[in-house]
DNA sequence: GTGCGTGGCGCG
DNA sequence: AAAGCGCGCCACGCAC
């Protein structure tokens, strides 16, 4: 089988001579072994599975390939051949999304991935250009041959016609195994294409760190995190009971059938003479968001907010957890080490980086394993500290060296009198500082700080007079990016690790945020690697942007708290100290409970 | 019934 | 001069 059989002639495509094979006999298995013993720069490896969860879904195919030949090996019937190949092959292995495939091969084949010789083209693609799609098919279609996607379409229609799922499709169904066998070949071609680009940009350090992160995250996903399901049930039932009563009351008192339908609520509010003016982002509708509802003097508003919140907590989190847990009773979220353009990680299933912190209801469901405690360690104002570092603003740097609350120090200087912790002016200063960092203008700062536009404009001016570094940094980063657009065709900012983060057209102002966010992400990843070197990685359960969660045996807690803090603290690299604070708690929520 | 865009909102 | 950044998920409501 060749790709031309699949998708017609492709002229002088690099895939022209690719041969695709299915191991379905002893002879084929022998032929595969002979092929495997040939020498090559890297061996492509891929898997097909019934779904995304190694603890819940079957492993169906394991595929191997190089630049000219791809093999699909059914796991159930020919797993022994796969095991031999994995265990005996000694050269570099290249995957597209290694963290995913390696966890399947770990769970089903008991394979220990030899991480030091594993490469990952998805990671490479993200480093080369984080703003473009990085799935194997779109990437291959763009870099290698547009026909790379042909088999996928064929497969999806075929599976739909037969009503097969990933767990039930027969492995000898040609569209399935042919498409599978092509993937490691595509991976090898992408590897050869992207490798030189990474090299030319001196991405060795960034790539090594990313691969270390892939490994550590894969382990965290496998480890999972413990959940108090009894608590989830009880709390969800409480909230649902309240919502039912509230909905009945709203129907009775206000004639609104569905208080989570903005259309219905807006109609009712307008009937009662409420004037709404704020529009949604698209401008298509009147907005009825938290800000609008909070400002309304109508009893319905309060209920809508409370119902939204309660239903969110139940449906997104508490009620979902019991369906998401694995056979081991633990939650195994999916951690994407390169979830964001800036190199930040993202977590899905569930989205554990978005748990409410003002209300500890959901976080309280997260508990340590039996006999353990949670160690929660977060970085102190890391983004503002990095802003001080990158901007060289002496005022900001000095403020961080004082033994007092950073934003109180700032506010005291701006307002010319001693501003204490509870003072409203501290919050305004904090809003303005972060707003400026992210490129906000006076109007946005006025809204987030809940002050008038005049006051905001005046305050921004006062902030700039005292701490001109941030505006100067903005100018410098944007000018550099525009120079790069002229010289290299891309507007980007470069992080200290050498990562290039590109700007969208007309949005160069976002690059200051990219620089800070990117480098904070690099620091977290470096931190995870250092924690591994300090021998505590086996306790890691979650990374949350500037926080790490560890699940630690009681007896080791005191030790681990010290190790984690001293490992992550960095007092010398930057113009301000980067410090982390670890605390021990019986649940994640306990940290946020007053 | 399913897919998709929009609105809304949670976190850092 | 002016510009908040990055994500994921759910409910709603419309289109197919």
Residue A456 structure tokens: 């905001």
Distances in Å between the Cα of A484 and the Cα atoms of A129, A199, A478, A488, A501 are: 15, 19, 10, 5, 12
0.85 exceeded by pTM: yes
* Strand A346-348 to A334-336 pairing: antiparallel
> Nearest CA to the C1' of B12 belongs to which residue?
A545
Q: Is the peptide bond before A350 cis (omega within 30 degrees of 0)?
A: yes
Instruction: Give the CA-to-C1' distance from A441 to C2 in angstroms.
Output: 7
Sign, Cα dihedral of A447, A451, A454, A455: negative
Report residue A180 CA to chain centroid gap.
27
Strand C nucleotides below 7 A of a protein CB? 2-13
* Spatial distance between the Cα atoms of A16 and A245, rounded to a whole number of angstroms: 66
Q: Residue A349 phi/psi, 5° resolution? A: 60, 60
Which nucleotides of strand B lie within 7 A of protein CB?
A: 6-12
For residue A111, report the phi and psi dihedrals to the nearest 5 degrees: -85, 135
* Residues 6+ away with beta carbon under 8 Å from A167: A50, A51, A57, A58, A60
* DSSP letter for each residue of A461-515: HHHHHH-THHHHHHHHHHHHHHHHHHHHS--EEE-TT--EEEPPTT-GGGHHHHH
Q: Which residue is listed with tokens 């002639």?
A: A9
Distance of A194 CA from C6 C1′ (whole Å): 25
CA of A263 to C1' of C15 (A): 19
Please give residues of chain A from 407 to 446 whose alpha-adjacent beta carbon (CB) lies under 7 Å from any atom of strand B: none
- Give the 3-state DSSP-derived string for A403-425, with helices as H, strands as E and coil as C: CCCHHHHHHHHHHCCCCCCCCHH
Which of the 246-285 residues on chain A come under 7 Å of nucleic strand B at their beta carbon? 262, 280-285
Instruction: Give the separation between CA A97 and CA A494, rounded to whole angstroms.
Output: 25
User: What's the CA A154/C1' B2 distance, rounded, in angstroms?
Assistant: 20
Q: Write out chain A's pLDDT in tens, 594 residues.
A: 766 666 665 567 899 889 999 999 999 999 999 999 999 999 999 999 988 889 988 999 999 999 999 999 999 999 999 999 999 999 999 999 999 999 999 999 999 999 999 999 999 999 999 988 888 988 998 999 988 877 777 777 777 777 777 888 899 998 899 999 999 999 999 999 999 999 999 999 999 999 999 999 999 999 999 999 999 999 999 999 999 999 999 999 999 988 999 889 998 999 998 888 888 887 778 889 888 888 888 989 999 989 999 998 998 899 988 888 999 999 999 999 999 989 999 998 888 988 888 889 999 999 999 999 999 999 999 999 999 999 999 999 999 999 999 999 999 999 999 999 889 899 889 988 888 888 888 888 888 888 888 989 999 999 999 999 999 999 999 999 999 999 999 999 999 999 999 998 888 999 999 999 999 999 999 999 999 999 999 999 999 999 999 999 999 999 999 999 999 999 999 999 999 999 999 999 999 876
Alpha carbon of residue A340 to chain centroid: 6
Q: How far is the CA of A446 from the C1' of C4 (A)?
A: 12
Closest residue to C11 (CA to C1') is: A260
Rounded to an integer, what distance in angstroms lies between the CA atom of residue A22 and that of residue A75? 12
Q: Exposure string (b/e) for A409-448, b if CB count within 10 Å is 16 or more?
A: bbbbbbbeeebeeebebbbbbbbbbbbbbebbebeebbeb
**Tokens coding A317:** 């989190």
From CA A587, how far away is CA A278, in angstroms rounded?
Answer: 40
What is the signed CA dihedral for A67, A147, A184, A21, rounded to 10 degrees? -80
The residue behind tokens 């994995």 is A86
> Which nucleotide lies nearest residue A444, CA to C1'?
C4
Between the two ends of chain A, the Cα-to-Cα distance in Å is 66
């Amino acid at each position: 089988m060749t790709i031309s059989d699949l998708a017609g002639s492709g002229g002088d495509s690099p895939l022209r001579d690719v041969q695709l094979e299915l191991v379905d006999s002893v002879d084929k298995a022998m032929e595969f072994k002979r092929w495997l013993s040939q020498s090559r720069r890297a061996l492509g490896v891929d898997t097909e599975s019934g779904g995304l969860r190694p603890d819940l879904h079957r492993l169906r195919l394991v595929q191997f390939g190089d630049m000219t030949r791809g093999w699909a090996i059914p796991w159930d019937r020919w797993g022994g051949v796969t095991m031999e190949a994995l265990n005996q092959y000694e050269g570099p292995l290249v995957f597209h999304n290694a963290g995913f495939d390696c966890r399947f091969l770990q769970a089903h084949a008991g394979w220990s991935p030899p991480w030091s010789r594993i490469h990952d083209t998805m990671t490479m693609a993200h480093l080369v250009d984080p703003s473009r799609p990085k799935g194997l098919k779109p990437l291959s279609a763009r870099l290698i041959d547009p026909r790379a996607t042909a088999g996928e379409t064929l497969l999806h229609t075929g599976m739909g016609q037969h009503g097969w799922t990933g767990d039930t499709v027969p492995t000898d169904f040609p569209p399935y195994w042919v498409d599978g066998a092509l993937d490691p070949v595509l991976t090898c071609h992408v590897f050869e294409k992207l490798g030189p680009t990474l090299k030319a940009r001196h991405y060795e350090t960034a790539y090594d760190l990313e691969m270390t992160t892939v490994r550590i995250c894969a382990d965290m996903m496998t480890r999972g995190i413990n959940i108090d399901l009894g608590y989830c049930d009880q709390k969800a039932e409480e909230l649902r009971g309240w919502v039912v009563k509230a909905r009945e009351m709203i129907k009775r008192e206000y004639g609104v059938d569905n208080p989570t339908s903005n259309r219905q609520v807006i109609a009712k509010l307008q009937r009662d003479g409420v004037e709404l003016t704020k529009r949604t982002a698209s401008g298509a509708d009147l907005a009825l968001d938290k800000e609008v509802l909070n400002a309304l003097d109508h009893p319905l508003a309060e209920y809508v907010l409370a119902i939204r919140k309660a239903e969110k907590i139940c449906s997104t989190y508490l009620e979902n957890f019991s369906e998401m847990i694995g056979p081991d009773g633990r939650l195994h979220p999916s951690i994407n080490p390169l979830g964001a353009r800036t190199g930040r990680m993202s977590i899905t299933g569930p989205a554990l980086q978005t748990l409410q912190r003002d209300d500890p209801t959901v976080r309280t469901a997260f508990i340590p394993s039996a006999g353990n405690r949670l160690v929660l360690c977060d970085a102190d104002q890391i983004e503002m500290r990095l802003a001080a570092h990158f901007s060289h603003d002496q005022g900001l740097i000095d403020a961080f060296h004082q033994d007092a609350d950073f934003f109180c120090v700032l506010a005291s200087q701006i307002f010319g009198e001693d501003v204490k912790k509870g003072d409203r002016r501290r919050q305004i200063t904090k809003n303005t500082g972060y707003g400026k960092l992210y490129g906000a203008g006076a109007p946005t700062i006025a809204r987030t700080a809940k002050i008038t536009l005049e006051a905001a404009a005046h305050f921004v001016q006062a902030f700039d007079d005292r701490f001109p570094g941030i505006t100067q940094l903005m100018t410098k980063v944007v000018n550099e990016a525009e120079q790069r657009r002229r010289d290299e065709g891309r507007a980007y900012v470069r992080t200290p690790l050498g990562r290039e983060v590109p700007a969208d057209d007309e949005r160069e102002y976002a690059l200051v945020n990219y620089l800070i966010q990117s480098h904070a992400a690099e620091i977290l990843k470096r931190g995870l690697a250092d924690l591994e070197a300090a021998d505590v990685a086996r306790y890691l359960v979650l990374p949350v942007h500037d926080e790490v969660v560890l699940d630690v045996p009681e007896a080791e807690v005191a030790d681990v708290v010290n190790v984690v803090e001293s490992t992550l603290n960095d007092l010398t690299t930057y113009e301000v100290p980067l410090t982390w604070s670890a605390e021990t708690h019986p649940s994640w929520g306990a940290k946020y409970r007053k």
